[in-house]
Chain A
Amino acid sequence: MMAFRTLAGGYLDLLLGKGEMEFSYRDRLKLLGGVAVLAGLHATGVLPAMDVIGAALAQDAKKTLRVTIVPEPPSLNTAFNTAIMVQQISTKMLDGLLAYDKNFEPMPALATEWKVADDGLSITFKLRSGVKWHDGAPFTSADVKYSFEEILKKHHPRGRATFANVAEVEAPDPLTAVIKFSKPSPYVMAALSASESPILPKHLYEGGDPTANKLNNAPIGTGPYKFVEWQRGSYIKLGRNPDYWGKGKSEVESMIVRFIPDAGARAVAFETGELDIGGTDPIALADLDRIKALPNLAVTTDGYAMCGAMYYFEFNMRDPQFKDVRVRQAIAHAINREFVAKNVWFGYGSAATGPISQKLTKFYTADVPKYPFDPKKAEALLDAAGFPRKAGGVRFKITHDPSTYSEQYRRFGEYFKQAMRAIGIDVDLQSTDAATFQKRIWTDNVYQTSSYGIFNLPDPTIGVQRMYWSKNIRKGVPYSNGSGYASPEMDALLEAGQNEVDIAKRREIFNRMQVLAMTDLSIIPIINVDYTTVYNKRVKGFTEDLEGVFGTYANVALA
């Protein structure tokens, strides 16, 4: 700004100073033209100052992976921000204790062996030896202890809930870490991936405010890629970590993450070969058929099982109109979920049957009360509940708040309005932005019905319980139990599910929970959402584990 002002001042002086002399009006115009040219030259002179990667070497295209993440993440460390765009970049640099195979079974990462105690009150991890942080310091159990006790339990957005029962982490020797629980917490084993619980370097975080640490924008981790630079608004560049513990696997020398805000422009960049891979719906779903038909591009829905993405419809149970379960059943019968999956989500999703995602194969059950599309039955239920059609064919009016994060959500709102009109319910759609939406639903509770995308995450205690547990009716907390649903029976099941160590018994508990949720119907699960990854066929090896674009990309190869 100063420079700009001096520059402008200089020209002004020039013009005014000359003005003292006798100049014709025409001469002044000419001078003005000259100054414009000069200013143009100055503008180009500004350019070299923008160059910061002068020293970087030109890369062979075969060794550079060109990624896009939508939208640009605000910071790069998922320990402090678990938004999906942050998780996609953080995991390339920061490792977790475990990784997961396609059956959600743990695989070695920073920990090579693990043992859950029979009473479920501790987990012992053997750590990988010889692992170095990107700055060369050795990775030890002290880092694990610090990360869990000081970072994940205190500053991770979900960590205070997930690790609530973590009493302490013991580090008996540099390569052993023991997590001690006050109560058995079997779900913790599912939350130790790089995307959920990254391990941070104690020696670089200790002593300051970890949330304000500059490394959150330039992580130093143990992962396969090192941070190189971040040109905000343009791109992030990562380089290969030559000392990575999974040696010899990655053939990618550098990774460039470009930020292209417009979906149409992203599609163009994939078509012209400027992008290799992008996750979490980088291209409008309506555009995917065209993209799939191109010879060099492909689309996959693999790699999102860990998210367990769902689309829920929710009643505000405080509203007297929804007190009668028959009203809630009627609305469930009037929503054609197959139609929504096919037309709103363009087939990238399937009709949901219960609150737990079909992708959480360990816990999902189809054996629950069902509400097939049946407008006649819906009308009969509404009549029986004492809401007959009045003048104009309208039974009653409700508001609906669809979430704002994606185009599909808004379209679902439009579908819902039409579907309700068919059974005599008049819907007033609310159009808001993200902050307003959250305030209306979870802080002020001023909505009547809402719908939103939600992640079940790898364990129902972490991702599903929060919507049904009466102890999680918390004002101002997004994605808590906003409906106000409270059932002692549900609470008992959820609380039993938290501490049950035996997997078969735990599965049985959650089966009963799913039946109860679909009986009480505070939430109508609408869609199991399939996120899409668009990639160039020259990229190999990113779908081998459970995590897809949330994985480390350590095994990615370029043909």
Chain B
Amino acid sequence: MMKRYLVRRAGQALVVLVLIACVNFLILSLAPGDLVDVLAGESGAGDPHYLQALREQYGLDKPLYSQLLQYLTNLVQLNLGFSFRFNLPVRDLILMRLPATLLLMFSSLAIALLGGIVFGVAAARAPRSLRDSLISTAAMLAYSTPLFWAGLMLIILFSVKLGVLPSGGMRTVDGPKDMWGIVVDVTRHLVLPSITLALFYMATYTRLMRASMLEIYNMDFVRTAKAKGLTSRDVAYRHVVPNSILPLISLFGVQLGSVLGGSVVVEVVFGWPGLGLLAFDALFQRDINLLMGILFLSSVMVILVNFAIDMLYSWLDPRIEVGA
């Protein structure tokens, strides 16, 4: 049963990945101009032979279908291609930047999830109270504040005015060398960007948690729990909260992909050396190989995470079955 399910999911994932790769390639090649245009433009190049030579070297002079075929062939061999702009294999470039992005993503999602649950519970336990209004208003504010602005304000407060946290980067250049020193150093750099990125998601989770708890509160088993004389605290934490978390988990899965997008803004503001920034540059510089590599990797990540969430879901709530 399980095995058949896994095989089917893997098959689906493969088809989706190939489709994504093709669509990525075709959409990106619709963009006017290519890498050679960009290079020549910023270099002030003045020679058609030079441009022609570059296009031949990069394989941009070949027809589109043969470029796509070449790309897919490389992909099957797990070869992501070469970034001619950076003069490095795409795989190396991505591996250099992936740890920073993962660190930022997971720490901010963890903050968002924890904060969302805490504030959501606090709001839902006393609906329409002052506490609820404050939390809901704050969530609305955090939800509608542009990320880059929130980031800059945090920098001004904590780096310029108070001078307690670094304004950007991931590590102090020539900073501590010992393991513990590095952990502290990176954590200090991580605080502001991860909070900035977490704000938006925390607001979403808070609102979702609150709504989901209020819905559960209306259910029969909660009434039973109250009727048998449990305290309001026991009702909330033993019966309502656990049953309200499922929607959060599915949203978490969906958002993992979009965090990658949101992290571009945060990476720009805080100079965080992650993948988002690399993707952003790659787009404007028409570094198609690099961009496709990053997009491909993101799709793989989203597929894996969604699979994990599905498994988690059925494991957490035995009523939901993994169907083959």
User: Which residue of chain A lies nearest to B319 when distances are taken between CB atoms in the complex?
Assistant: A25
**Contact between A217 and B88 (Cβ–Cβ < 8 Å)?**
yes
**Contact between B43 and A259 (Cβ–Cβ < 8 Å)?**
no
The distance in angstroms between the C-alpha atoms of A123 and B173, with both chains bound, is 45
From A43, A50, A83, B107 is in contact (CB under 8 Å) with: A43
In the complex, chain A residues whose CB is within 8 Å of the CB of B170: 234
CB contacts under 8 Å to A, within B23-47, are 31-34, 37-47
Q: Taking the complex as formed, is B155 at the interface, i.e. its CB lies under 8 A from any CB of chain A?
A: yes
Q: Taking the complex as formed, is B182 at the interface, i.e. its CB lies under 8 A from any CB of chain A?
A: yes
The distance in angstroms between the C-alpha atoms of A437 and B286, with both chains bound, is 13
**Contact between A48 and B311 (Cβ–Cβ < 8 Å)?**
no
**Contact between B273 and A36 (Cβ–Cβ < 8 Å)?**
no
Q: Taking the complex as formed, is B277 at the interface, i.e. its CB lies under 8 A from any CB of chain A?
A: yes
**Known contacts A81-B39, A258-B169, A268-B160; A455/B44 CB under 8 A:** yes
Q: Taking the complex as formed, is A21 at the interface, i.e. its CB lies under 8 A from any CB of chain B?
A: no
Q: Taking the complex as formed, is B268 at the interface, i.e. its CB lies under 8 A from any CB of chain A?
A: yes
Q: Taking the complex as formed, is B197 at the interface, i.e. its CB lies under 8 A from any CB of chain A?
A: no
**Contact between A71 and B106 (Cβ–Cβ < 8 Å)?**
no
The distance in angstroms between the C-alpha atoms of A28 and B243, with both chains bound, is 13
Residue interface bits A39-53, CB-to-B below 8 A is 1, else 0: 110011011111101
Q: Taking the complex as formed, is A421 at the interface, i.e. its CB lies under 8 A from any CB of chain B?
A: no
User: Which residue of chain B lies nearest to A233 when distances are taken between CB atoms in the complex?
Assistant: B273
Interface size class of A (residues with CB under 8 A): 35 or more
**Contact between A436 and B273 (Cβ–Cβ < 8 Å)?**
no
From A58, A74, A158, A405, B46 is in contact (CB under 8 Å) with: A158
User: Which residue of chain B lies nearest to A480 when distances are taken between CB atoms in the complex?
Assistant: B46
Q: Taking the complex as formed, is B13 at the interface, i.e. its CB lies under 8 A from any CB of chain A?
A: no
Q: Taking the complex as formed, is A6 at the interface, i.e. its CB lies under 8 A from any CB of chain B?
A: no
**Contact between A40 and B33 (Cβ–Cβ < 8 Å)?**
no
- Shortest Cβ gap from B166 to chain A (Å): 8
The distance in angstroms between the C-alpha atoms of A235 and B42, with both chains bound, is 21
**Known contacts A81-B39, A436-B33; A211/B160 CB under 8 A:** no
Q: Taking the complex as formed, is A466 at the interface, i.e. its CB lies under 8 A from any CB of chain B?
A: yes
- Shortest Cβ gap from B202 to chain A (Å): 16
**Known contacts A82-B44, A435-B34, A480-B46; A235/B173 CB under 8 A:** yes
**Contact between A26 and B242 (Cβ–Cβ < 8 Å)?**
yes
**Contact between A256 and B271 (Cβ–Cβ < 8 Å)?**
no
Q: Taking the complex as formed, is B269 at the interface, i.e. its CB lies under 8 A from any CB of chain A?
A: yes
In the complex, chain A residues whose CB is within 8 Å of the CB of B31: 435-436
Residue interface bits B149-180, CB-to-A below 8 A is 1, else 0: 00010011001100100111111011001010
From A8, A82, A259, A476, B48 is in contact (CB under 8 Å) with: A476
Q: Taking the complex as formed, is A362 at the interface, i.e. its CB lies under 8 A from any CB of chain B?
A: no
**Contact between B183 and A44 (Cβ–Cβ < 8 Å)?**
yes
Residue interface bits A442-467, CB-to-B below 8 A is 1, else 0: 01000000000011010000000010
- Shortest Cβ gap from B324 to chain A (Å): 16
**Contact between B304 and A5 (Cβ–Cβ < 8 Å)?**
yes
In the complex, chain A residues whose CB is within 8 Å of the CB of B159: 268, 272
**Contact between B42 and A233 (Cβ–Cβ < 8 Å)?**
no
**Known contacts A265-B167, A440-B32; A19/B39 CB under 8 A:** no
Q: Taking the complex as formed, is B270 at the interface, i.e. its CB lies under 8 A from any CB of chain A?
A: yes
**Known contacts A232-B96, A477-B47; A8/B315 CB under 8 A:** no
From A48, A233, A234, B182 is in contact (CB under 8 Å) with: A48
Q: Taking the complex as formed, is A318 at the interface, i.e. its CB lies under 8 A from any CB of chain B?
A: no
Residue interface bits B247-260, CB-to-A below 8 A is 1, else 0: 00000000000000
From B41, B271, B281, A479 is in contact (CB under 8 Å) with: B41
Q: Taking the complex as formed, is A161 at the interface, i.e. its CB lies under 8 A from any CB of chain B?
A: yes
